[in-house]
Amino acid sequence: MQSEFHDRLLTCVDCRSQFVFTAGEQIFFLDKQFKNDPKRCKPCKAKRTTLGARPDGSPGTGVMRTETRTECSECHIETTVPFKPTQGRPVLCRQCFQGKRIPLSGDATAILSAASGYDLNPVAVDAIAEALLQPQA
């Protein structure tokens, strides 16, 4: 049985060089339901990402994020969050949020990551673990 995916050569819109859009990347795009092929090679994509670097020097996404000033629901200090809080839900500062996280062993992270078939970011792993540990109503 022949795979419907094969490596393809694409042309970068920024530098006009050709780059390979691998069969694996095509499967990933299909899985994520992306409609368009990539437009930029990896070096040009990386340059675009660093253009949006934040004032603290950390890399940015090139996209402006909304920051909302609010009060932490636990310690009541003024804090800034990268989203617009919804009414009725607690908003925590970074320290209180970190204190609420459930520490997972490396084994638990590896098991959750393997089960999903993708590398998960630690915050996502913690959120999944917290949801699994919630008592059933």
Please report, in angstroms and rounded to a whole number, the separation of the first and last CA atoms in the chain: 48
Closest C-alpha among 79, 109, 110, 113 to residue 93: 79
Segments making up each domain of the chain, as ranges: 1-64, 65-92, 101-137
Do 112 and 120 contact (CB within 8 A), yes or no?
A: yes
Question: What is the token pair recorded at 22?
Answer: 């691998």
Question: What is the token pair recorded at 129?
Answer: 């673990």
Task: Report pLDDT for 80.
Answer: 86
What burial letters (b/e) apply to 105-120, b meaning 16+ CB within 10 Å? Answer: eeeebeebeeeeeeeb
Do 78 and 71 contact (CB within 8 A), yes or no?
A: yes
Q: How far is residue 94's CA from residue 79's CA, in Å, rounded to a whole number?
A: 8
**Helix, strand or coil, per DSSP, at residue 100:** helix
Q: How far is residue 5's CA from residue 3's CA, in Å, rounded to a whole number?
A: 5
Task: Report pLDDT for 18.
Answer: 96
**Tell me: the pLDDT tens digits for 73-115?**
899 999 888 888 887 788 888 888 888 776 666 666 666 556 5
List, in sequence order, every residue forming a beta bridge with 70; answer none if it has no partner. 79
**Tell me: the pLDDT tens digits for 27-77?**
999 999 999 999 999 999 888 877 664 555 555 555 556 788 888 889 999
CATH of domain 1-64: 3.30.160
